[in-house]
Structure 1
Amino acid sequence: MQYFTADTHFFHKDLLGMSDFAPRPFPDVATMNQTIIDNWNARVAPTDTVYHLGDIALYFTHPANKSNEAVGDVLSQLNGHLELIKGNHDSRALFKYLAANNPIDHGRPKYAFHDVGVLIKYDHRQYYLTHYPMMLGIVKQIINLHGHIHHYAVPVKENLNVGVDTPEQRYLDQPLPFGTPFSTAEVEQIVLGKAQEFQQKQ
């Protein structure tokens, strides 16, 4: 199975609380981190693949190895093979640390790394996976899955925010528990729901 997520922002204490940007009503980062881990693992199996579209964590220390080890410890608790697409808050030092501490998990490395984006095919459609929303222009059967904008949505039907704070869960029959990665079926449901909404507005 393939899943998609973004903007977990592990350890980011400044996001705690209620806001229009990223509503996260947790008492502390430990609770937030554990909630994401628990909800992620309730869905993702060890043999699944999760595309993480950037901004894994926001935690910087001096020396940097302390925060890199802490983030690595959290990621090691997540089920699945992680395809990591670099976000604006993901440092080169973190990616280098994870590459140097990349265990073989169910026959393949735990982590794979991408600087910009990934293009994958699903059924009759292509998903272009990036951290930032991409303005692709008029395209056929290409959907941009992205993060970065937290509790906002791009007013373009071909752009879908799959971050943990996304408001586009409203197109699903039931919202997912916080931090749960989206399945391809749920992404397709959001694609169709957003397209129908845009068609009705015309």
Structure 2
Amino acid sequence: MNFFTADTHFFDKHLLGKTDFADRQYLTVAQMNETIIANWNEVVLPTDTVYHLGDIAVHFVRPEKQAHQDILEVLQRLNGNLVFIKGNHDSRALFKYLDKNNYEVNGRPKFSFHDVGVLFKYDHRQYYLTHYPLMLGIAPKIINLHGHIHHYAVNVKENINVGLDSPEVDYLKEKPAFGQPLSLEQVTQIIAAKRDDYLKRR
């Protein structure tokens, strides 16, 4: 199966508690990290693929190599093959470190990397996977899955925020546990519900 997520912000102490960007009620980053890992692995199987749309972690320790090693150790505990799209908090140095320490899972690299975005096709629809939301204009068969903005939704029905703090998960009948990537089925439900909501407000 394919899953989608963004803005995990592992190790990011600035997002603990209730902030302008998130409502992460954890006392420590270790507690937050462990919750994300456990909830992720509850739905993602080792054979699945997860598209991570940027901002993997915010971890400022020195030397930089130690920060990268800490992040690698967290990512190694996550089920699935991970496809990373670079976010504003993701450095090329981190990507190079992860690539240097890459290994095979399911006959493919555990980690793969994209600087800008990925085009994903499913069920006669195109999904542009990016970190920043795109303004696509009138494009009825194209959906932009994105992250970056955390706490609010773009007021365009074709833009779907798949980040951990996204309010658009409220469109789902059953809200995922914090840290769980969204399945294609859940993404499809959000698309339909947001479209209906958008059309009602016009």
Residue 108 of structure 1 corresponds to 108
1:162 aligned partner, one-letter code: V
Matched, 1:43 2:51: no
1:97 aligned partner, one-letter code: Y
C-alpha RMSD over aligned residues: 0.7
Q: Which moved more, 1:14-23 or 1:85-94?
A: 14-23
Residue 72 of structure 2 corresponds to 72
Write the deviation string for residues 59-101 of structure 1: whole angstroms up to 9, x where unpaired.
Answer: 1222210000000000000000000000000011100000000
Write the deviation string for residues 161-192 of structure 1: whole angstroms up to 9, x where unpaired.
Answer: 00000000111001100000000000000000
TM superposition score normalised by structure 2 = 0.98
Distance 2:135 2:128 in 1: 11
TM superposition score normalised by structure 1 = 0.98
- What is the count of residue pairs matched by the alignment? 202
1:55-134 correspondence to structure 2 within 5 Å: 55-134=55-134
Residue 10 of structure 2 corresponds to 10
Residue 21 of structure 1 corresponds to 21
**Corresponding residue SS for 1:35:** helix
2:49 aligned partner, one-letter code: T
Gaps of 5+ in 1: none
Question: Alignment identity in percent?
Answer: 62
What is the Cα deviation at residue 200 of structure 1? 1.0
Matched, 1:156 2:156: yes
Distance 1:139 1:106 in 2: 35
Greater than 4 Å deviation, 4+ residue runs? none
Gaps of 5+ in 2: none
Residue 185 of structure 1 corresponds to 185
Q: Which moved more, 1:131-140 or 1:45-54?
A: 131-140
